[in-house]
Amino acid sequence: MAKLDANAIVTFIVRLIVSFGFIILMLVLFFSFRVGLVNDDMQRFDMEMANTLASSQLTSHRNIFSAEKLFAASQLPSVCEYEYSMSIESLGARKVCNQNSDCIDFCKEVLSTQDPEYDCNFELFGQDFCECKGSDGWQDGYQWKFGKAQGKLYNYKEEKFPTAIETKTGAVLPATITITSYDSFLSRISCIAQKAYDTKSKNAAAAE
C-alpha cells in the first residue's frame, strides 16, 4: 500500500481552501455589483417618477401640487417597472394657537373635512401649535400618502425632492415629495404580464 505524502495532502488542502475562497469572493463581488446596479436603477426610477408627477393632473402648475386635486385623488398612475408610493408633506405650515378652538378652521382646511379632530399642542419651549388627526395620525400641516408595497420585497429605494402645494385659498406652501420604489415578486410578475399583454396587442394591431 502506497504511503501518503503529508506534504502533498497539506498542499492539496491549501489549494482547495484557496479555490473555494476565490469562488466565494467572486460571488460576493458579483452580487454586490448587481445590487449596486439595481439601486442605481431604482434611484433613476424615483427621479423620473417625481418629474412625471410634477407635471401630472395632480398639479395646478409645473411642480406645484393642488391640494384640491390631491384630496380628490384615489390612486397614482400605474407603471410596469416597479411598484411605488408617494407622500407629500407641507413645510412651515404650522398654525400658532392659544386654545383648541383656534385650530378648528385650520384643521378643516388641512384635512378637507367639516368635522376634524384637533388639538392645540402645548410646547414647553416655543409657541403652541395646532395638530389635526388624519388617517395616519396627528399632523401639523398638509400631508398625503398614496400607494404601498405589496407582497415580499427584494429591495426598495426612497428619494425626497422639493416641491410646493397650492392650498384651496390660493396660498403656495413649500413642501417635500417622497418617492419610494419597491422591487417585489408581485411587481415583477405584474410587469411580465403587462409586457406580454402589450406585445400581444401590438401584434394583433399589426396583423389587421
Banded pLDDT at 18 (limits 50, 70, 90) = low
Helix (H) or strand (E) holding 154: strand 153-166
Cα–Cα distance, 35 to 163 (Å, whole number): 30
HEC profile of 47-78: HHHHHHHCCCCCEEECCEEEHHHHHHCCCCCC
Residues 131 and 164 in one domain: no
- 17 Ramachandran zone, left/alpha/beta (phi>0; psi -120 to 50): alpha
Cα–Cα distance, 4 to 155 (Å, whole number): 52
Name the more confident of 132 and 29: 132
Residues 56 and 130 in one domain: no
Residues 161 and 66 in one domain: yes
Residues 123 and 55 in one domain: no
HEC profile of 156-193: EEEEEEEEEEECCCCCEEEEEEEEEEEEEHHHHHHHHH
Residues 72 and 156 in one domain: yes
Instruction: Identify whether 44 is part of a domain.
Output: yes
Instruction: Identify whether 21 is part of a domain.
Output: no
- Domain range holding 86? 38-92+142-198
Name the more confident of 59 and 30: 59
Helix (H) or strand (E) holding 152: none
Q: pTM of this prediction?
A: 0.69
pLDDT reported for residue 20: 66
Residues 125 and 111 in one domain: yes
Coil, helix or strand for 155? Answer: strand
pLDDT reported for residue 32: 47
Residues 67 and 154 in one domain: yes
171 CB-side CA count, 13 A? 11
Banded pLDDT at 34 (limits 50, 70, 90) = very low
Q: Retrieve residue 46's grid coordinates.
A: 424615483
Q: Mean pLDDT in the chain? A: 81
Residues 168 and 100 in one domain: no
Instruction: Identify whether 17 is part of a domain.
Output: no
Q: List b or e across 51-84, with b for residues whose CB sees 16 or more CB atoms inside 10 angstroms.
A: eebbeeebbeeebebbbeebeebeebeebebbbb
Residues 109 and 178 in one domain: no
Instruction: Identify whether 128 is part of a domain.
Output: yes
The last residue of one of the domains, among 103, 122, 141, is 141
Residues 102 and 172 in one domain: no
Judged on CB neighbours under 10 Å (0-12, 13-18, 19+), 112 is middle
Banded pLDDT at 65 (limits 50, 70, 90) = very high
Instruction: Identify whether 59 is part of a domain.
Output: yes
One-letter amino acid of 96 = V
Instruction: Identify whether 12 is part of a domain.
Output: no
Q: 162-197, pLDDT tens digit by residue?
A: 999 999 889 999 999 999 988 877 666 666 666 666
Coil, helix or strand for 25? Answer: helix
Is the pLDDT score of 3 beyond 90? no
pLDDT reported for residue 192: 64
Instruction: Identify whether 115 is part of a domain.
Output: yes
Residues 76 and 156 in one domain: yes
Average pLDDT over every residue of 75-80:
76
Is the pLDDT score of 150 beyond 90? no
Residues 82 and 111 in one domain: no
Instruction: Identify whether 29 is part of a domain.
Output: no
Instruction: Give the list of residues 6+ apart from residue 162 with CB closer than 8 angstroms, or none.
Output: 174, 175, 176, 177
pLDDT reported for residue 35: 43
Q: 97-131, pLDDT tens digit by residue?
A: 999 999 999 999 999 999 999 999 999 888 999 99
* Domain count within the chain: 2
